[in-house]
Amino acid sequence: MVGMDTDDETLLHQVQRERNTTAWNLLYERYAERLYRFLYYRVGRREAEAQDLFQETLLTAVDRIHTCRESFASWLWGIARHKLLHFYRSQARRQERETPMSQMDQALEEWMDRFETHDLPDELLVQQETRQFIGAALSALPPHYQRGLVLKYVEGRTLEDIGQECRMSVSAVGHLLFRARAAFKIAFAKLTQGELTYDL
């Protein structure tokens, strides 16, 4: 008998072996909101695109659930990242012209200046090209870096709040964000300079 307290591994086995819909529903309830939020911020807070990617991710998960051989959360987020990368490539193909390098350099400089001490700058997020690069750079980072940056700079959470949610000390959160910022800057710079593609 499965319930709210059943661990992911047991639920996953129930779905894979018995196609247990109750087990799947429990996994869905456990991760749906977090998954949608993950996608929502990576497409520039556009609800329609986030909903499409959310549904595509879940449909793929249902179809390929028998292939999951790792933690369900890591596997599900892997599917979501692949959907995002496909989305970025599709968006890039629709563009009729490339963004001038001077404009991207200016956006990069402004982003880096703001990123150190401020929340995510909305004036940059509304720019389609920059938004795509930001999303791609975030997706290139390890999951714990992504989570830390989104909690701090997108959701505006305090170090104390992040520490409680991630079960880390405030000092550990500070070190995590320092490393995450450095990794993000490298990935973002490589993307804008053409040294890194969306196929991360």
> What is the span of the domain harbouring residue 182?
99-192
**Does residue 122 fall inside a structural domain?**
yes
pLDDT at 67 over 90: yes
Question: In the listed set 59, 92, 125, which residue is the last one of a domain according to the structure?
Answer: 92
Instruction: Provide mean pLDDT across the span 175-190.
Output: 84
Contact 84, 49 (CB under 8 A): no
Q: What confidence score (pLDDT) does residue 52 get?
A: 94
End-to-end CA distance of the chain: 40
Q: Are 84 and 103 in a shared domain?
A: no
Instruction: Provide mean pLDDT across the span 67-74.
Output: 92
Top mean pLDDT of 19-28, 42-51, 127-136 is at 19-28
**Does residue 115 fall inside a structural domain?**
yes
Min mean pLDDT across 95-99, 154-158, 166-170 is at: 95-99
Q: Which helix (H) or strand (E) holds 66?
A: none
Q: What confidence score (pLDDT) does residue 114 get?
A: 52
In angstroms, rounded to a whole number, what is the distance separating the alpha carbons of residues 168 and 142?
17
Q: Higher-confidence residue: 50 or 100?
A: 50
What CATH code is carried by the domain that includes residue 62? 1.10.1740.10
pLDDT at 121 over 60: no
Q: How many independent structural domains does the chain possess?
A: 2
